[in-house]
Structure 1
Amino acid sequence: MRKKWSLFLAGIAWVAVLTQYFLMVENRVASVGETTIRFFSFFTILTNSLVAIYFTWWVLQHKKGNPSILNKPGTLTALTVYITIVGLVYQILLRPIWEPTGIQLVVDELLHSVIPVAVIVCWYLFEDKSLVSYRQIPQWLIYPLIYLVYILIRGNGSGFYPYPFVDVGSLGLSKVLINAMGLMALFVGISALYIKVGKSVRRNQ
């Protein structure tokens, strides 16, 4: 059953990410090279790419006892936290200011709604929740912290910020850092919630 879920998630994630890249290149306002860099500056794209890679790996190479970090308890939970944040931020902050149509609408729903929900279901069904610890949360924050540093440094040089709430040019650095701290608090809160729910589910099974 897990292999079928993994195949499904890998498939829709690759289709969504690659289609989004095609659409962005087709509608680019900069060179292909700059557009590609901007494409990979979106947390949504990076995280959905991680989803595609993780579940592709599971389909192709998973073996019991495999020492890879991808096979360790907590990896799927971390991925679920990341993609949950993608969905929440889009639904709460970005959907009201973005009205895609046509294929772009379909791709947006895949990236921000369908895939997050599917990953959450996969986490519920297959993560070894009893072995996931609150002590892992600091490790899970490394990815979003590196991402934040990257987009702020690159934005300072290029003037391009992938999301309005991190646009230093419009908001100022102080406001962006406050927004960033709020997002990091959200990461910690969602991480703790998944661990708490996971432990509760394990006790009741």
Structure 2
Amino acid sequence: MKLLACSDIHGHLEAAEILASKASEEGFNIILVAGDLTHFGPAELGRKVVETLLKSGLPVLHVPGNIDPPGLHEALKDVGVSLHGRGVEVEGLKIVGAGYEDGVSQPLRRGIAELGKPPDIVLTHVPPYGSKVDVAWSGEHVGSVELADFLREFKPRLSICGHIHEARGVDQLNGTLICNPGPAFKGFYAEVLFEERVEVSLEKFEF
């Protein structure tokens, strides 16, 4: 299984067009978007971003980010798969998601309840606390303790996040591979091969 992971598109439709083309032309199976589809809205722009990604012909799973407008999750329920508080199975992969809010554990647990089994992949906007992918410019860890605890409890094979633009990278947390692909509006994304082993390659495209 080949996944295209991206985050922080921030309404950049050209970036979405390029990602859609890459996904369709390079043999990807799923597109996962870890929040901030827009830059403070509007919801209609978020819809255009997802519709652009859907031109790839692939499933597009997404969660809202901290500067997406309130209600984006509801507004996009019929476009792609809005994964906040949900659990879905796509081509055998069990995936749960949570957007940006005070707590991620409750929506992720709702997703597990919907699946009826633990997830293979967790998609969130925020990164887990205490990893390479949650370090701000100040050098401080600014991720979610709640998410880190959730990953330790359920041990998914992969956690995809975003939010901290400067913390693009890959790390491990108690056996879970964590990927922050970096901001897509700057051309960053990740290629994930999800087989017996999970392998992540950080990639960049030019505009």
- TM-score of the alignment, normalized to the shorter chain, above 0.5: no
Greater strand share, structure number = 2
Per the normalisation by structure 2, the TM-score is: 0.28
- The higher-RCO structure (CA 8 Å, 6+ apart) is 1
Larger Rg: 1
Per the normalisation by structure 1, the TM-score is: 0.28
Greater helix share, structure number = 1
